[in-house]
A = this chain, B = another copy of it.
Amino acid sequence: MTSATFQLAQFAADLRFQTIPESVVKRTEDLLVDWFASVIAGNGSRAVQSIGFFAQAMGPQNMTAAAPGTAQVLLSRTRSSPYFAAMANAAASHVAEQDDVHNGSVFHPATVVFPAALAVAQSIGASGQQLLTAAVAGYEVGIRVGEFLGRSHYKVFHTTGTAGTLAAAAAVGHLLGLNAQQMQHAFGSAGTQSAGLWEFLRTAADSKQLHTAHAAAAGLMSAYLAKDGFTGAEQILEGPQGMAAGMSSDADVAKLTDGLGTRWATAETSFKFHACCRHTHPAADALLQVITRSSLKPEDIDRVITHVHQGAIDVLGPVVRPASVHQSKFSMGTTLALVARFGHAGLTEFEQHFLDPETISLRDKVSMVLDTEVDTAYPQRWIGKVTVHTVDGRVLQGRVDEPKGDPGNTLSREEISAKAQRLAAFSGGATADEMRTAVTALWGIAQTAVVGDFLI
Contact = CB atoms under 8 A, between A and B. Distances in A.
A197 B207 contact: no
Contact of A81 (B57, B196, B203, B225): B57
Interface in A224-243: 224-225, 228-236, 239-243
Interface residues of A, number: 64
Contact of A232 (B157, B205, B231, B245): B205
Closest 7 CB pairs of A and B: A58-B83, A199-B233, A198-B241, A156-B246, A199-B242, A58-B81, A205-B231
A82 interface: yes
A289 to B, nearest CB: 32
7 contacts: A54-B221, A59-B81, A156-B245, A192-B197, A197-B233, A197-B241, A207-B233
A194 interface: yes
A231 B206 CA distance: 5
Main secondary structure of the interface of A (DSSP, over half): helix
A225 B210 contact: yes
Contacts of A232: 200, 205-207, 210
Given A199-B233, A234-B205, A246-B247, A224 B193 contact: no
A215 to B, nearest CB: 10
Nearest to A191: B197
A236 B192 CA distance: 19
Given A156-B241, A199-B240, A200-B231, 10 more contacts: A47-B231, A50-B228, A60-B61, A156-B245, A192-B200, A199-B241, A200-B233, A203-B233, A205-B232, A206-B230
A247 B243 CA distance: 11
A293 interface: no
A200 B225 contact: no
Instruction: Count this chain's copies in the assembly.
Output: 2
A58 B193 CA distance: 18
A399 interface: no
Interface string A72-95: 000000000111100000000000
Contacts of A46: 229-230
A197 B242 contact: yes
Contacts of A202: 233-235, 239-241
A185 interface: yes
A211 B191 CA distance: 11
Interface of A: 46-47, 50-51, 53-54, 57-61, 69, 81-84, 155-157, 161, 185, 188-189, 191-207, 210-211, 214, 218, 221, 224-225, 228-236, 239-243, 245-247
Nearest to A314: B241
A303 to B, nearest CB: 27
Contact of A205 (B58, B185, B246): B185
Contacts of A206: 189, 225, 230-232
A423 to B, nearest CB: 23
A210 B195 contact: no
A8 B195 CA distance: 22
B195 A192 contact: yes
Nearest to A61: B60
Contacts of A195: 192-195
A428 B47 CA distance: 44
Contacts of A69: 57
Contacts of A245: 156, 197, 199
Contacts of A156: 241, 245-246
A51 to B, nearest CB: 7
A211 B192 CA distance: 8
A221 B54 CA distance: 8
A241 B205 CA distance: 13
A79 to B, nearest CB: 13
Nearest to A210: B189
